[in-house]
Structure 1
Amino acid sequence: MTQPIKTTGTTGPRDSARFLTQPQVLVILATVCCLLWGSSYPAIKIGYALLGITQGDIPSKLVFAGYRFVFAGLFLLILAALSKKPLFNFSRRNAGQLMLLGFTQTAIQYVFFYIGLAYTTGVRGSILNSTTTFFSVLLAHFIYKNDKVSPRKAVGCLLGFVGVMVVNFGDGSFEFAFTLLGEGFIVIAAFVLSAASIYGKRISQGMDVMVMTGYQLGFGGAVLVAAGYATGGTLSGFTAGSAALLGYLALLSAVAFTLWSLLLKYNQVGKVTVFNFLVPVFGTALSAICLNENIMELKNLVALVLVCSGIWLVTRSPQVRSGYSKPARTVASAQECRQSQG
């Protein structure tokens, strides 16, 4: 803030920390990320329609998803190169970690996500996919000694899963409308994402966020493209509209993943993840607007309130006795030192 922005200067990380820890900047950027992720639900279903991908054409769905992430990864790597970031400054072990991250967080997760979204509504998909937050809490309980499930988090998880149950009730009072290929695959995708995110958080400590995200998106996307074509998938009939939509999906992935990772890097985790509750809000609202889906059903509204309340309880960070700005600066400084050494 006190000096002009320099992309090649040594004060870059410090300037970034000062900028990204400002409360208003955190609110704006986190909300933008959630809006972008929420918009992907109707955008994917619209893409299926524009490209003539039928519900059962799983191979073509994989090709569609693969191109999205290949382009997103290339965009980030080109941007990183233009920003003078080292693209090949990692060991063989790091390369293996990036490939594993791309295979799980992008390829495997989106196999389940894209197939599941074809067999359920955008409204349901956005609510069900928010279970990522709860899976992350439960996994962290068993992985990290200092991140155990508290009574507040337990209540939040319970509310979230009740919301997931509610959204799957059919028109009948006790009819449970749940299919493995639809709602089941969305929940599996949420679990895979939460597990892969914990792994990604670990390897990001010694690697530039933009470079790491670019490689994992690009590799995961390439796996999806290869798998799709190998099983008979194809994409044809591209128009200006469908090409623009694919470009939008690629861009939103690149922007949202990078911004979110940067916010987590320079702020306390709880202050960032609390905004996760906005993803199902934007997802359901945009699905209702773009796909003419009925968001005003009582079960959808009840489920949305339960899920958002649960996420808020899970991710709400308790008040810090000495204030919030000092810990944020301390975390940022430690990470800056790590980055300068790596």
Structure 2
Amino acid sequence: MTAARFFTHPLGVIAASVAATLLWGSAYPFIKLSYLHLHIGQAETFEQLLFAGYRFTLAGILIFIYMTLRKESIRYQRGSGTQVAWIALLQTVLQYTFFYAGLSMSSGVVGAVIAGTISFFQILLAHFFYKNDKLSGTVGVGLIVGFMGLLILGLSKHGGESGPLFSMGELLLICASLFNAIANLLSRRAAASYSIPYINGYQMLLGGLVLCAAASWKTGLFPFQFDWQAGLMLLHLAIVSALGFMLWNNVMKYNQVGSVSMYLFLIPVFGVIQSAVLLSESLTYAVLAALLLVSLGIIIVNRSKGVLKAAKN
């Protein structure tokens, strides 16, 4: 079966979409498990950044291996440097600096719920940067529903007391989602000129090396005691980045965006479930309510945008 036939068959679309979102959802517990196994503390920011650097350097190499097996050139393409550098800065360096630090201060289930806001930030930003991507009334409703989930998450910890709505860890995770959304829009623009594996391979490799360099002056390049378990967790996280994007972008390539993007609601769902199982984290009513609203918001905005796009075609 050819790639086109697989990724356009209903069962193929479901299988690839579920696999990609399952992989992405697993990142939250596996990062926290890696911290525990390698004894990376909440305040050890440079160690967190170095581990992230390992992950994305390895992910970039895996993508280049994939491109080589497909006989796709990995040679540098003139003119791509500036775009790749900006995407690497936002998607890998800034996003994961905030994400890894924020996740060390928050639970995996909270991190997974907040990750769902990436779709909402991306849609809001697209409204201002693209003339043909304006908000509709239904999309606006979806955004309100989704951000209500975030509000419930913040209010649930107060119990009527005054104080910041979100903890420092949660604020860092929200900033990470914003950086991810901006980078996705830049990647969308770059994809008009370069292949998606080329963009992601180079931006992950570049971003990973920058993270390693920024952290290693303080920690050294190899401060961790890796055993086979830590090695497998690192490999899994690299595969999450490399394989997850390859599956998802093939689904997006062969299908209408609106018909498949609603599967994004599975990322926070899988993230919450896997964090609860693997980390033994409790699922409070507030977390479940926030997850429901964020997931519903993702479905509403992506289904609505898909219907609008189909109507225009």
Class of the TM-score when normalised by the shorter of the 2 chains:
over 0.9
1:114 aligns with 2:100: yes
What is aligned with 1:155?
141
Which of 227, 236, 246 is the matching residue for 1:239?
A: 227
C-alpha root-mean-square deviation of aligned residues, in Å? Answer: 2.1
Where structure 2 has 5 or more consecutive residues not aligned to the other structure, the ranges are none
1:235-261 deviations in Å (ceiling 9; x for gaps): 312111111111111111100012212
Q: CA deviation at 1:224?
A: 0.8
Q: Distance in 2 between matches of 1:171 and 1:85?
A: 50
Where structure 1 has 5 or more consecutive residues not aligned to the other structure, the ranges are 2-14, 328-342
**Residues 252 and 319 (structure 1 numbering): CA distance in 2 closer, same or farther, change over 3 Å?**
closer
Q: CA deviation at 1:166?
A: 1.0
1:198-242 deviations in Å (ceiling 9; x for gaps): 110111122222222111111111111111112436531211111
Q: CA deviation at 1:132?
A: 0.4
Q: Distance in 2 between matches of 1:307 and 1:272?
A: 17
What is aligned with 2:240?
252
Q: RCO (CA 8 Å, sep 6+): is it higher in 1 or 2? A: 2
What is aligned with 2:174?
187
Q: Distance in 2 between matches of 1:241 and 1:217?
A: 23
Of residues 257-266 and 168-177 in structure 1, the stretch that sits farther from structure 2 once superposed is 168-177
1:61-112 deviations in Å (ceiling 9; x for gaps): 0000000010010011022112211111611x21221122112111111000
Percent of residue pairs identical: 38
User: Quick check: which has more Rg, 1 or 2?
Assistant: 1
1:166-223 deviations in Å (ceiling 9; x for gaps): 1123455324665553000100000100110011011112222222211111111111
Q: Is the 8 A contact 1:167 1:300 kept in 2?
A: yes
What is aligned with 1:103?
89
Which of 18, 30, 33 is the matching residue for 1:43?
A: 30
Which of 287, 295, 298 is the matching residue for 1:311?
A: 298
4+ residue runs over 2 A deviation:
15-19, 168-181, 230-235, 317-321
Which of 95, 107, 119 is the matching residue for 1:133?
A: 119
1:300-328 deviations in Å (ceiling 9; x for gaps): 1111111111111111146869x89xx7x
Look up the equivalent residue of 2:277 and give its one-letter code. I
Q: Is the 8 A contact 1:64 1:235 kept in 2?
A: no
Q: CA deviation at 1:270?
A: 1.3
1:35-85 deviations in Å (ceiling 9; x for gaps): 111110000000000001010000000000000010010011022112211
**Residues 172 and 183 (structure 1 numbering): CA distance in 2 closer, same or farther, change over 3 Å?**
closer
**Residues 266 and 276 (structure 1 numbering): CA distance in 2 closer, same or farther, change over 3 Å?**
same
